[in-house]
């Protein structure tokens, strides 16, 4: 995949929002792990892909006007057999949408130590800023999130991770294993590098990233481009 080419094509067709599927493929391209994923439209293909990927799988409805997927029932987790896939497929196809629908079949990722939110937002004054936080109420309610202006160094990334109040959750809280901090550092550095190289990216939201004792995996992502001609 040529990232510049992909972003240029999107903008030329007046699209500024990459789908979850496209966003995660781009992340994979820069070396951020994602679950194996494939798109299908028919039920037969959905079942065939799931068997190829191997159970358990997750099915998600991909449609331009379905943004917060779980709010509308567009995410079906932990599907273990053909009957469950067929049922999940039927339910997903019933979700109201004006856009073209497809189904993303993806490998179900193992239970993490915790979910992380990693992202990028464009500040009017300072340009691209990287965000880091622990998913769920810590970010949503308590706004326990840290920012750094890109480009960042490894030192910045480590500091950014350590400064959130929820850091103990990553450091062996209540007998849980310690999270792989190096994997988070590498992910922040890769995103920093990406957004510096590609100024057309306006916003990135990796939500959630599953963090483990060894490694991490991004299970949902959204990349938004700048509208052509828009100033910062």
What does DSSP assign to residue 95? S
What binding mask, one character per residue, do residues 168-207 give for Mg ion by CB under 5 A, x or -?
---------------------------------------x
> In this chain, which stretch among 25-33, 82-90, 134-142, 220-228 interacts with Mg ion, using CB under 5 A?
220-228
> In this chain, which stretch among 97-105, 107-115, 194-202, 213-221 interacts with Mg ion, using CB under 5 A?
213-221
Rounded to an integer, what is the distance from CA 200 to the centroid of its chain?
18
Q: How far apart are CA 53 and CA 146, in angstroms?
A: 36
How far, in Å, are 24, 31, 191 from residue 162 at the CA level? 26, 23, 18
Token pair of 60, please?
């998600």
What does DSSP assign to residue 73? T
**Shortest CB 231 distance to ligand ADP, Å:** 30
Instruction: Report the 3 state secondary structure along 115-141.
Output: EEEEEEEEECCCEEEEEEEECCHHHHC
Q: Which residues between 117 and 176 bind ligand ADP (CB under 6 A)? A: none
77 binds ligand ADP (CB under 6 A): yes
Compute and round to an integer the Cα radius of gyration of the chain.
Answer: 18
Helices (H), 37-178: 43-53, 82-94, 137-140, 154-162
Closest to ligand ADP by CB, 69 vs 148, is 69
Binding partner of 153, given ligand ADP, Mg ion, none, CB within 5-8 angstroms per partner class: none
Q: How far apart are CA 17 and CA 10, in angstroms?
A: 8
**Shortest CB 160 distance to ligand ADP, Å:** 22
Q: Which residues between 93 and 122 bind ligand ADP (CB under 6 A)? A: 106, 108-109
Q: Which residues between 190 and 229 bind ligand ADP (CB under 6 A)? A: 208, 219-220
Residues forming contacts to ligand ADP in the complex (CB under 6 A) are 35, 58, 60, 68-70, 75, 77, 106, 108-109, 208, 219-220
């Amino acid at each position: 995949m040529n990232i510049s080419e992909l972003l240029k094509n999107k903008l030329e067709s007046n699209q500024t929002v990459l789908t979850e599927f496209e966003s995660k493929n781009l992340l994979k391209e820069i070396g951020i792990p994602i679950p194996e994923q494939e798109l299908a439209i028919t039920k037969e293909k959905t079942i065939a892909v799931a068997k190829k990927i191997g159970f358990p799988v997750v099915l998600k409805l991909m449609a331009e006007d379905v943004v917060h997927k779980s709010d509308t029932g567009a995410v079906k987790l932990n599907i273990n057999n053909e009957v469950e896939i067929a049922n999940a497929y039927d339910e997903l196809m019933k979700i109201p949408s004006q856009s073209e629908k497809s189904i993303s079949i993806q490998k179900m990722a193992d239970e993490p130590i915790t979910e992380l939110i990693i992202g990028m937002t464009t500040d009017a004054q300072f340009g691209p800023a990287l965000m880091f936080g622990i998913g769920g109420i810590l970010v949503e309610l308590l706004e326990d999130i840290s920012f750094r202006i890109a480009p960042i160094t490894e030192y910045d990334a480590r500091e950014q991770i350590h400064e959130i109040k929820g850091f103990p959750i990553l450091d062996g809280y209540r007998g849980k294993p310690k999270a792989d901090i190096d994997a988070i550092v590498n992910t922040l550095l890769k995103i920093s590098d990406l957004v510096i190289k590609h100024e057309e990216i306006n916003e990135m939201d990796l939500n959630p990233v599953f963090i483990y004792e060894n490694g991490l995996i991004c299970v949902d992502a959204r990349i938004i481009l700048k509208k052509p001609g828009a100033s910062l």
